[in-house]
Amino acid sequence: PSRATSVVRVMIVRGTVRVPGDKSISHRALLIAALARGTSAHTGLLTGEDVRHTAGLLRRLGATVSPLRSGAVVTVRGARFRSPRCALDCGNSGTTARLALGVIAGHPIHARLTGDASLRRRPMRRVVDPLRSMGATFPDGAEHLPLTVRGARLHGIAYDSPVASAQVKSAILFAALASRVPVTVREPRTSRDHTERLFLHLGLNLRAENGIVRYQPSAGAVPAFELGIPGDFSSAAFLIGAAVLAEGGELLIEGVGVNPTRTGFLVALERMGAQVERLNLGALGGEPVADLLVRPALLRGTEVVAAEIPALIDEIPLLAVLASRARGETVFRDVGELRLKESDRLELVAANLRNVGVAAEARGNDLFVLGTDEPPRGPVETARDHRLVMAFAVLGTIPGAAVRLSERRSVSISYPGFFRTLRAIGRGTRHRD
């Protein structure tokens, strides 16, 4: 039972908008800048809470990070890291926790990391195991936060990761960068490659071929750098979803990162019958960017196979919501990783779709959604998961919908102005976030 109804309607979509900076790249930009010699400057950095936690953590380790204000340049002055006196709070951010474990492991310091109730339930062994075999120690456990990491002068490894996880791959690469040791990482499927692209953009010695990433340290410290950060494709995806479900009009989203390891959502959506035009292709900070032009479409169900999952992992709640408006059934294969995100997204997506009148079910590690024409009506338990809020808010934009969200504040984790922009595209204005 809740009072927070998603009241935003988008019948005719219109406008030109921008989305906030990419969350994954923002974390990485701050972390590498804190390891660099001198003062780096970032434009377009996300100011959401997850990235604020990375900035706060780096300040406690000794780096100087200017305040994170939307639209402002953020400067970072690197420093010799010191052991912080109190526990480092990673909030809701798995990326902060796992990447920071890697960075800290590569320094001769120790730190205790903790986070909110959601983050304290998420698995940490996937990064602890490789960091241990590089020489770091974890005196009070390996499974969950809070935990302590004791860094060291590490040794290099060749690591065969059991999961396709950019956080695991990046923790190892950051540990290697900090300790100046060579590493090789192989993953079962290619996860997002922002760390690799940033290393290459900064002239570091990295090679990525056939799913294997090799890093070889070069002499001297990373020099300070300037970086522009593209709009977050995962945030743009929610606006794309709202535009596809609208009854008319078109929406232009400018300056969005379209790294192919992130845009699997577009591939699945186009198979379902929508068309998203990529215009003005360019590059920013070693990443491809484009303007995305979206029009409403009638959707049909599809099968999303296991090999596609890493490139659309964060968009599955949204794709499931869109599938509930498609003709026929949609199935997502092998999406067990969804249980380990900010909430158990596999069970909660299915349960919330059922709450609003859609036939949906998690069977084993697969998710099934049957499309319907009935307007969605009912309560949605977001579990304070930002992506569940935004996915179901998109469902709430269609005529006749009555989707009642248990809360909506958690959008500030990744997309602080989301509801403002969602309203704006329903009215047809120009909006920059």
CA distance 303 to 318: 15
Query: Please, what is the minimum distance in Å from the beta carbon of residue 388 to ligand S3P?
Result: 13
Residue 54 or 179: the one with the smaller Cβ distance to ligand S3P is: 54
CB-nearer residue toward ligand S3P: 313 or 390: 313
CB 170 within 8 A of CB 147: no
**Residue 193 is among the residues annotated as catalytic for this protein:** no
CA dihedral 390, 240, 419, 326 (to 10 degrees): -50
- CB of 97 or CB of 147, closer to ligand S3P: 97
280 near 255, Cβ under 8 Å? no
Residue 309: CB minimum distance to ligand S3P, A? 9
- Of the candidates 6, 18, 21, 24, which one interacts with ligand S3P according to CB under 6 A? 24
CA nearest to 50, candidates 73, 20, 76: 20
The least CB distance from residue 80 to ligand S3P, in Å, is 26
150 three-class SS: strand
Task: Tell me the closest approach of the beta carbon of residue 70 to ligand S3P, in angstroms.
Answer: 20
Q: Which of positions 314-353 make contact with ligand S3P (CB under 6 A)?
A: 314
Shortest distance in whole angstroms from residue 10 CB to ligand S3P: 25
Closest separation between CB of residue 192 and ligand S3P, Å?
6
Site track 163-202 with ligand S3P (rule: CB under 6 A), x = hit = --xxx--x--------------------xx----------
**Region of 149-157, 159-167, 299-307, 415-423 interacting with ligand S3P (CB under 6 A):** 159-167
Query: Quick one: which of 6, 54, 92, 95 contacts ligand S3P (CB under 6 A)?
Result: 95
* Beta-strand pair 226-228/39-43: parallel
- For ligand S3P, give the closer residue by CB, 314 or 385: 314
Could you tell me where the beta strands, DSSP code E, fall in 210-324?
A: 212-216, 226-228, 248-257, 276-284, 287-294, 303-304
- Indicate the SS3 state at residue 265: helix
Residues near ligand S3P (CB under 6 A), total: 10
Verify binding: residue 410, ligand S3P, rule CB under 6 A.
no
To the nearest 10°, the Cα dihedral for 337, 22, 105, 212? 60
Tell me the Ramachandran region of residue 409: left when phi exceeds 0, alpha when psi lies from -120 to 50, beta otherwise: alpha
User: Judged by CB under 6 A, which stretch of 161-169, 261-269, 300-308, 373-381 contacts ligand S3P?
Assistant: 161-169
* 51 vs 297 by CB, closer to ligand S3P: 51
H helix or E strand, kind and range, residue 24: helix 23-35
Q: Is the dihedral of CA 184, 185, 190, 193 positive or negative?
A: negative
Site for ligand S3P in 272-291 (CB under 6 A): none
CB atoms within 10 A of CB 273: 15
Residue 408 to residue 418: CA distance in whole angstroms = 10
- Could you identify the residue written with the tokens 């309607």? 9
Please pick, among 22, 50, 314, 433, the residue that the annotation labels catalytic: 314
| Residue closer to ligand S3P (CB basis): 6 or 165 | 165
Residues of this chain that interact with ligand S3P (CB under 6 A) are 24, 95, 165-167, 170, 191-192, 313-314
Residues identified as active-site: 314
